[in-house]
C-alpha cells in the first residue's frame, strides 16, 4: 500500500472515530504539527485551525455548563469550564481516541515522544474542532465537542481529577492507603523551548507526564496515576 493510500486509510479511520465528516485536506492539516511543516518546505500547519477550534470548544462548553447548571454562579461556571478546556483534559480526550497515532510530526519531535505530549495532543484536538467547524458547520462542531467532553462532564470524580489532578491523586492515595505521591521532575531543551517530564510514584503505580512547565508536567503525571490507581481500586 502506498503512503498516500495509508494516509487516506488513516484519515477515514479517524473520521469514523470522530463521527463527523471533515474535508480530508482540512483534517490532514489539523493533524500537521509545525515540526512536520518546517521539515517539509515550510508547508502549512495546524495552528490557525487550533486558534479557531479553541473558540468553538470554549463556546460549546460554556453554553452546555450554563444551561445544565442553573445553580452555579459565574465563578463556579468559569472554574468548571477552565478544567474541561485545559491542556490536561484535552490531552486525556485525545488519548481516548488514540489521536497520537495520526499526528504528522517532524522526526525530532516524533523521536522525543511528541505523539504523547499533552500540549501537542491538546492543540491538535482544538485544530480538529476548527476543521470540523469549517467542514460541517457550527452545529456539527458543537455536537463533536460535547461528545468528546461528555466523559468529563458525566463523571464527577473524573471531572474533579481533571480540575485538580494532584489533589485528587493525593486524596485517592489516602483512601487506598498507598502513601503520599512522590514527584520528580527533569527538564530538557534550550531555555526558550524548555520541556519538563514529571514522574510520580504512589504505591505500586508509576506514571509520567510532560509539559512546557513543571506544574503542567506534574498535573499530567498525576492524572495518569489517578486513572491507573482508580482502575486498580
Determine whether 110 is an active site residue: no
Calpha distance 183→191 (Å, rounded): 22
Determine whether 54 is an active site residue: yes
Q: Is 23 annotated as a binding residue?
A: no
Active-site option among 54, 92, 109, 118: 54
Calpha distance 19→184 (Å, rounded): 39
C-beta separation of 209 from 190 below 8 A: no
Calpha distance 112→131 (Å, rounded): 27
Cα–Cα nearest to 176, from 205, 203, 208: 203
Q: Is 126 annotated as a binding residue?
A: yes
Q: Is 218 annotated as a binding residue?
A: no
Cell reading at 174: 489516602
Nearest 10 degrees: CA dihedral of 29, 35, 38, 40? -60
CA 219 vs CA 28, 47, 56, 71, 109: distances in Å: 30, 24, 25, 29, 21
Active-site option among 92, 109, 118, 126: 126
Identify the DSSP state of 16.
Answer: H
Q: Give binding residues for Mg(2+) as ranges.
A: 50, 123, 126
Q: Which residues are catalytic?
A: 54, 126
Q: Give binding residues as ranges.
A: 50, 123, 126
Amino acid at each position: 500500500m502506498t503512503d498516500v493510500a495509508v494516509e487516506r486509510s488513516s484519515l477515514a479511520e479517524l473520521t469514523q472515530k470522530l463521527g463527523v465528516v471533515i474535508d480530508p485536506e482540512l483534517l490532514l492539516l489539523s493533524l500537521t504539527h509545525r515540526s512536520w511543516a518546517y521539515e517539509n518546505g515550510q508547508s502549512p500547519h495546524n495552528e490557525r485551525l487550533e486558534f479557531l477550534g479553541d473558540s468553538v470548544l470554549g463556546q460549546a462548553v460554556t453554553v452546555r455548563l450554563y444551561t445544565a447548571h442553573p445553580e452555579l454562579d459565574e465563578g463556579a461556571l468559569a472554574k468548571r469550564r477552565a478544567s474541561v478546556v485545559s491542556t490536561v483534559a484535552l490531552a486525556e480526550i485525545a488519548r481516548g481516541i488514540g489521536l497520537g497515532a495520526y499526528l504528522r510530526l517532524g522526526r525530532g519531535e516524533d523521536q522525543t515522544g511528541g505523539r504523547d505530549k499533552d500540549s501537542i495532543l491538546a492543540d491538535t484536538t482544538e485544530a480538529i474542532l476548527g476543521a470540523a467547524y469549517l467542514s460541517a458547520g457550527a452545529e456539527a462542531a458543537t455536537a463533536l465537542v460535547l461528545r468528546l467532553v461528555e466523559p468529563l462532564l458525566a463523571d464527577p470524580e473524573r471531572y474533579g481529577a481533571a480540575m485538580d489532578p494532584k489533589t485528587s491523586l493525593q486524596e485517592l492515595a489516602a483512601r487506598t492507603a498507598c502513601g503520599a505521591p512522590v514527584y520528580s521532575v527533569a527538564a530538557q531543551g534550550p531555555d526558550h523551548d524548555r520541556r519538563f517530564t514529571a514522574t510520580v510514584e504512589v504505591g505500586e503505580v508509576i506514571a509520567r507526564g510532560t509539559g512546557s512547565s513543571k506544574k503542567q508536567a506534574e498535573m499530567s503525571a498525576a492524572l495518569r496515576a489517578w486513572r491507573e490507581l482508580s482502575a486498580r481500586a
